[in-house]
Each structure stands twice: as C-alpha cells, then as structure tokens.
Amino acid sequence: MELVGGFMVMVSIVGFFLTVLWFVLPFVIFAMKGKLDRSHIILEDIEKRLTAIEARLDMVVPLASAASNSEVSTEIPPSQAPPSSGGE
C-alpha cells in the first residue's frame, strides 16, 4: 500500500506544477506577442531608413555603384568549376 500512496503524492505534485503552468502560460504568450509586435515595428522603421540611405547614396555616387558592379567577376575558377556532364 505504501507504493500507491507515494505514487499519489508524486502525481499530486506534478499536477500542481502543471496547473501553475496552465495559469501562467497565457500571460507569458501575451507578453511575448507585445515584444514581438514592437520588434516588428522597429525593424520596419530600420528598413525604411536603410532604403532612404541607399537612395541617397545612389543619387550622390551613381558611378561608384556601377564601377563596383562591373568589377565583380562571374567566372568560376577552374579549380572550382563543376564537372562536365559529357561522357568521358
């Protein structure tokens, strides 16, 4: 009989902790939702600022962006070239 009594005490303790979690969890979720909404607004503001900065830079230095784009090589070096698909 002692085994059943100890098991009931353990089940009661686990049930108590699950009940506490059940009541606390909604408040945690709503708090996280508020923080996530604020972070989303801040990120949208940062994106707008970066867009404005990029537009100003393109107006001030249009040749620099064109020159930097032309210097980029699209060729693959022979050591990194993919193997040919032809039958050798």
Please tell me which residue, 33 or 79, carries the higher pLDDT value. 33
Indicate the SS3 state at residue 83. coil
> What predicted TM-score, i.e. pTM, was given to this entire model?
0.46
Spatial neighbors of 65 by CB under 8 A, at least 6 apart, are 57, 58
Q: What is the pLDDT of residues 1-51, one digit of tens each?
A: 566 677 888 889 999 999 999 999 989 888 899 899 999 999 999 999 999
CA distances for 26 relative to 15, 42, 56, angstroms: 18, 25, 45
* CA dist list (Å): 9 to 5, 18, 21: 6, 14, 19
